[in-house]
Structure 1
Amino acid sequence: MHQGITKPIGDLFSSASGDAAAVAQQIRKQEAELTLPRVDEQTALEIETQIRSLYTSTLLAGQPDKAKHQGIAFAVELFGGMRLAAGTIGPGVTPGNWTWIERKINTVRLHHKSSFLTGRELVTKGRDINSLGPDFAAHGGAFPIRVTSCTYPIGAVAVSGLAQEVDHWLVTQALCNVIDGQKA
């Protein structure tokens, strides 16, 4: 079990606006430990199922009024361009969400780290998180897909539509659940 890797949803809001270096350290720990034994179509389906379940059971249950107006888009994509899973959950998803997903995945592809970690590192260095250019987004929500047999990430899981720390939480919690299920 990946205890301590993800934080409860309530802790996210205080940590994202807090010390960028401390948040970056927590994300580095997640990246070091969240490695999948395998990635295939079944894994992508498991990730999709977890994202849908977490959105419904945790976010809708915890903030029903907000969730009525705020859906998400998500994608599980390999860096070769193959999209293994993608979809939307809830109302209010726009083409802009897909643009955000593409920009966040581009950030993971370029830096080999999560878009949230890239953003927190920029803040730690006193740089603007929007300084990477129009094709990149150093905002939370895209996380590298790593497999045990490969040194570098092979793709990314991305979510767009909520606050960046919640997008990040959805992805990392889904990955934790899938990894735990694959090891069982």
Structure 2
Amino acid sequence: MDLINELERQEQDLVLDRFDNQDAWRLGSLLWELAGDRPVAIDIRRGTQQVFHAAKNGAVADNDRWIERKVRVVERFGASSYLVGRRLAAKNQELNAGMGLDPAGYAAHGGAFPIRIRNVGVVAVATVSGLPQADDHALVVEALTRFCSEQ
């Protein structure tokens, strides 16, 4: 439960006052920089529009499929894909047809994080794919933490 509490705290703390396409570019560029030479794909969406996408050397097309599946989890549950996955695991559950979801279309694995605007809610999703799930999540949190401190 400590991990779940930490993930919930991250989502409460990492809230912005605004987020537009220029902000998405800045956050995506920061993720690119922080990723270094790690083989990841980076994606930021505002609503249904993909406003930033890049892939480091070594990233593969399958990373893009994982991004799609992780983003759907954030859109469906309004929480990071890692938090959703950890909550399910704590109850010995997983995403399945019994929840009205096709597991082929959803992945409750770390890496997709909701971008929240204060007094508005979730307006975007920032996602990383290519590392172990805890590392994908940590990279997005690191970038958002820096991004929030610069606003």
Same fold? TM cut 0.5? yes
Unaligned runs of 5+ in 2: none
Of residues 125, 133, 143, the one that matches 1:156 is 125
User: Which digits, 9 at most, give the CA deviation of each residue in 1:90-118, with x for residues without a partner?
Assistant: x2222211000000000000000000000
TM-score under structure 2 normalisation?
0.91
Partner of 1:146: 116
The 3-state SS of whatever aligns with 1:117 is helix
The answer on 1:84 being equivalent to 2:54 is: no
Partner of 1:177: 146
- Displacement of 1:138: 0.3
Q: Given that residues 37 and 179 in structure 1 are in contact (C-alpha distance below 8 angstroms), is that contact kept between their aligned partners in structure 2?
A: no
Partner of 1:165: 134
State how many pairs are aligned: 146
The answer on 1:122 being equivalent to 2:99 is: no
Q: CA RMSD in A?
A: 1.3
Distance 2:144 2:43 in 1: 13
Q: Tell me the percent identity.
A: 33
- Displacement of 1:179: 0.8
Q: Given that residues 77 and 156 in structure 1 are in contact (C-alpha distance below 8 angstroms), is that contact kept between their aligned partners in structure 2?
A: yes
Distance 1:55 1:98 in 2: 16
Between Structure 1 and Structure 2, which shows a larger proportion of strand residues? 2
The answer on 1:33 being equivalent to 2:13 is: yes
